[in-house]
Amino acid sequence: MMRKIDREPNGRQSFTPGQDLVVAGAIGKTGARAVLEKKENRLNSRFHPAFIRRLEAAADEKICLTPETLMELGAAEWEYIEEGGVLAALWRLSGAYEQGISFSLLKIPVKQEIIEACELFDLNPYRLWSGECVLIAADHGQDMVSSLEEKGIRAAVIGKVEKGIARKMTGVGGTGYLERPQPDEIYKIIDEEDYHAGKNIGDY
């Protein structure tokens, strides 16, 4: 049995079987910014300056998707990808509506520079605070992706809302089930207590 998750609803408050799951914006940006701020020396010793500049650009990417814009684009529901990363967002949204999902990790937008920085520091980008990035349920996901791309926003359909309560996940190793959210990977880089006290990444 799926445990219902309490959260404030968004959009049309619709999350029903057959809808597409869309991710707008690349994941892991806040985590990448933490790495740049806290691990500068190691990054500089490992990567070329051109790579560091690309990583900075990826970390600072803005998509500026307001609730009004999301509604105009046809979003039925959405969840901002914050603490716990995209996997936590998928867990929360499906749990709020007690509805099954299926999705592919390989389809989730992520910049190569962020992947390489995560590998260096043993971070899972799918469990990493993502900055300006949104998980969206939409009736016509591919149309939404096309509209987002016209605005210069990277996006992809990553899966669907399904009948039942299973949270099915496809990755490199095959198909399994989404696990309960784990602590955000960003806390391997920064202090959790300070972060929740309102300290900005740049304050460290």
Which pLDDT belongs to residue 101? 98
Which pLDDT belongs to residue 202? 45
Residue 201 counted as domain residue: no
pTM over 0.85? The answer is yes
Strand-strand pairing, 100-104 and 20-24 = unpaired
Residue 130 counted as domain residue: yes
Residue 186 counted as domain residue: no
Q: What is the CATH number of the domain that holds 156?
A: 3.90.650.10
Q: How many domains does the chain divide into?
A: 1
Residue 167 to residue 111: CA distance in whole angstroms: 25
Residue 148 counted as domain residue: yes
| Domain coverage including residue 140 | 20-171
Q: What is the DSSP string of the chain?
A: -PPP------TT----TTPEEEEES-S-HHHHHHHHHHSHHHHHHHS-HHHHHHHHHHHT------HHHHHHHTEEEEEE--TTHHHHHHHHHHHHHT-EEEEEGGGS---HHHHHHHHHTT--GGGS--SS-EEEEESSHHHHHHHHHHTT--EEEEEEEESSS-EEEEETTEEEEPPPPPPPGGGGTS-HHHHHTT--GGG-
Residue 77 counted as domain residue: yes
Tens of pLDDT, residue by residue, the chain (204 residues)? 788 999 999 999 999 999 999 999 999 999 999 999 999 999 999 999 999 999 999 999 999 999 999 999 999 999 999 999 999 999 999 999 999 999 999 999 999 999 999 999 999 999 999 989 999 999 999 999 999 999 999 999 999 999 999 999 998 888 999 999 999 999 999 875 555 555 554 443
Residue 8 counted as domain residue: no
Residue 202 counted as domain residue: no
β-pair partners for 80:
134
Residue 181 counted as domain residue: no
